[in-house]
Structure 1
């Protein structure tokens, strides 16, 4: 039987979770009972034909064992992907949410999910190798020169997707031109847990092909891959550039951008009041050394001494 562990921040119950007498798997809600009180898991109850309890041969009912469901819900259980390497334990009721972002889950190709042209499935460790083998143009990114895009037009919908690696972590970089909303989007998402994603920020640097002095930089924290890129676009928490402005960054249907991924959280820039205060303040009187005994200190000229503001050129 699976053993539940007491959690540090939860009221987890130390106990052996009961197994279904039919499938011998750990019980999970909803749990139904027969007329004699024997409990079966929901899937096994649904598969019984006729609906007769395999233990006492009494008819199954629609009565749920709420007490047992409550005990199981408060117990800490390991991730179902434990055999694949996941070390997380959680409340039973949190398992479904964890499985959505567990890095040991079976994943689909991000390109296939967006464009529907790839049916690959596998684990996270195999994803980059899959891209290098099947989609090399979507992962061979030079972080120094950035991404070069061709056949770009503000009058046509387009989407670009790349897989980037930072250490042992993978990130999905997506750029979209939306002629309906009349904007271009950029977003970087971490493949992994929400907590891990929030520990990373990304910068997108867009430099004009018409004038390299024209540049836009977006800075934001990463979302994880549970949300689709379109969902992040709708939230507006990503890089957004109006298409009429974006047109000044395109030349001969070409544009480029670079991205940087860092660990940390974006910090707001503090307003430096020193320059403002120096501009508003009147120049202070010069500080002359105290005269020594027996000497009289005089200015060389009868007029006031000339002073310079802080930071001004002499």
Structure 2
């Protein structure tokens, strides 16, 4: 009852503007100055207008005892805060209306934090990047007046703002869902060299943003960046179990390759352990110079059954943790596993998801974005010796799987082979079908099928592939040309 009476009293005197500045009419701030012929004036107005008076100590004492409604009451805040904490609360209040972070681009929306996500998703979808692994890549042109704003949707949802300011590149990153944040963001800056500049920053709240500065000159010098800097952004969460795993896993680190050891784990006679990849390469223990036998560290191997290993590509963004017997299968198809471009003269490297995009954008003349490819080639039996070293390669991309079709011919045979370069699912098996079409009678066809190759060298490839004798193909040729197709399907 007393609390209710105090609340009613507070509301009444606030309504009567007893605690309002006589000049600006806002809630008084300390110290309160009683100015003759003016009234009670806040500290800010006294300084701005150079007003003199007496400090109203008694009014200050009463004000300090009151719980004041947040000034964002009209937009949904129901908090009443003791006066001494009012300023801090209102600074961070989630009901504080703010303009859209793309207001510089012409957006006139203004609202509270809880409505911001839906507004951004609906009105600025081109600025939204989604990755369930909370790993994001953004290209920034540092020769322009940069102002990049993106909503990063992963396990968290964060806004990142990147600006160029004189000699610095500024990053501001904040969580748009949580008012209190307890995780970090790692940002790697890459240019044309293999070097990168890495910075770790705490993710701030939406209502209390802070900025990290990176010197542009140093960044360009370190990474050899010219126009574009690529930002790799990795969100991470912290919890006690993660800290425990990290402390335990340090004892499973191979001293040679620094990778985590999984069964089988070998040891020298003095107990120094090494992974199964490094052991065959060592004649003596690099720690104590003792000779190796075939001794296994079964105790350490037994402990691996209860250990969760981070994916070997965690530094590239993968957050999966797996048991030892599961990790090899995952790492074979991990979405963050880096792959080189399959074209011999291209140095590009990328993940499973962007290698297909790279092929489509940079090698259109060699890429077929479908599971069916049909073409017509020159064929004259009397000229086969001229084509002894004739060899064509095409790349087929469909359903996130990447294949290489190789067509070769010599004086006696024509060969077709299809290799699986990238699989979306490791267990998938693919069949390729080669069909020779008589274009004078399209229903007349010569068809053969076989299983797509994996990890086969070029010498073995054409020993096991589909082939047709050239003298048979001659009967399907029309005006010195013949048509073939290649179709790929998944084996059920």
TM-score, normalization: structure 1?
A: 0.55
- How far is the alpha carbon of 1:207 from its aligned partner? 0.8
Higher strand share: 2
Question: Quick check: 1:233 aligned with 2:466?
Answer: no
Deviation at 1:160, TM superposition (A): 1.8
Kept after mapping to 1: 8 A contact 2:407/2:417: yes
Q: Which residue of 2 aligns with 1:183?
A: 413
Deviation at 1:162, TM superposition (A): 1.6
SS at 1:154 equivalent? helix
Q: Partner of 2:482 in structure 1? A: 255
* Residues in 1 aligned to 2:409 and 2:364: alpha-carbon distance in whole angstroms: 22
Q: 1:26 to 1:172 in 2, by over 3 A?
A: same
The structure showing larger relative contact order (alpha-carbon pairs under 8 Å, at least 6 residues apart) is: 1
Q: Structure 1 87/169 Cα, relative in aligned 2: closer, same or farther at 3 Å?
A: farther
Q: 2:423 aligns with which of 155, 177, 192?
A: 192
Rg larger in structure: 2
Corresponding residue for residue 26 of structure 1? 260
Partners in 2 of 1:167 and 1:134 — Cα distance? 19
Question: Aligned partners of 1:2, 1:258: CA distance in 2, in Å?
Answer: 56
Distance in structure 1 (CA, Å) of the matches to 2:362 and 2:378? 20
In 1: Cα distance, 2:373 partner to 2:276 partner:
55
Task: Show structure 1 runs of 5+ residues with no match.
Answer: 4-14, 54-58, 266-314
1:126 and 1:86 map into 2 onto residues whose CA distance is 19
Residue matched to 1:119: 347
Higher helix share: 2
Give the secondary-structure state (helix, strand or coil) at the position aligned to 1:61.
coil
Note the 1:64-79 alignment, pairs <5 A.
65-68=295-298, 71=302, 79=311
- Aligned counterparts, 1:19-168, within 5 A: 19-20=252-253, 25-27=259-261, 31-33=266-268, 35=270, 37-39=271-273, 53=287, 59-63=288-292, 65-68=295-298, 71=302, 79-81=311-313, 84-85=317-318, 95=328, 104-112=336-344, 117-140=345-368, 146-150=374-378, 154-155=384-385, 156=387, 157-168=389-400
Change over 3 Å in CA distance of 1:42–1:213 after alignment to 2: closer
| Whole-angstrom CA distance in 2 between matches of 1:98 and 1:71 | 21
Structure 1 residue 217 and structure 2 residue 450: aligned? no
The separation in 2 between residues aligned to 1:178 and 1:158, in whole angstroms, is 7
Shift, 1:17, TM fit = 8.3
Between Structure 1 and Structure 2, how many residues are aligned? 236
The more displaced of 227-236 and 86-95 is 86-95
Q: Secondary structure at the match of 2:391?
A: strand
**Alpha-carbon distance in 2 for matches of 1:86, 1:210:** 57
> Which runs of no fewer than 5 residues in structure 2 stay unpaired?
1-242
1:150 is displaced (CA, Å) by 4.6
Q: Tell me, yes or no, if the aligned pair for 1:32 and 1:62 is still in contact at 8 Å.
A: no
Give the whole-Å Cα distance in 2 for the aligned partners of 1:86 and 1:229.
Answer: 36
What corresponds to 2:404 in structure 1? 172
**CA 1:131–1:206 in 2, change beyond 3 Å: closer, same or farther?**
same
Conservation of the 8 A alpha-carbon contact between 1:101 and 1:192: yes
Correspondence for 2:434 among 198, 204, 209: 204
* CA-to-aligned-CA distance 1:168-206 (integer Å, 9 cap, x gap): 322222222144xx22222333322785441x3332222
The normalised TM-score by structure 2 is 0.38
Distance 1:79 1:231 in 2: 33
**CA-CA distance at 1:211 after TM superposition:** 5.0
Question: What RMSD in Å do the two structures reach over aligned CA positions?
Answer: 4.6
Structure 1 residue aligned with 2:207: none
Q: Deviations over 1:231-257 (max 9, x none)?
A: 343234xx3211211223334553322
Contact 2:369 2:398 (C-alpha < 8 Å) held by counterparts = no
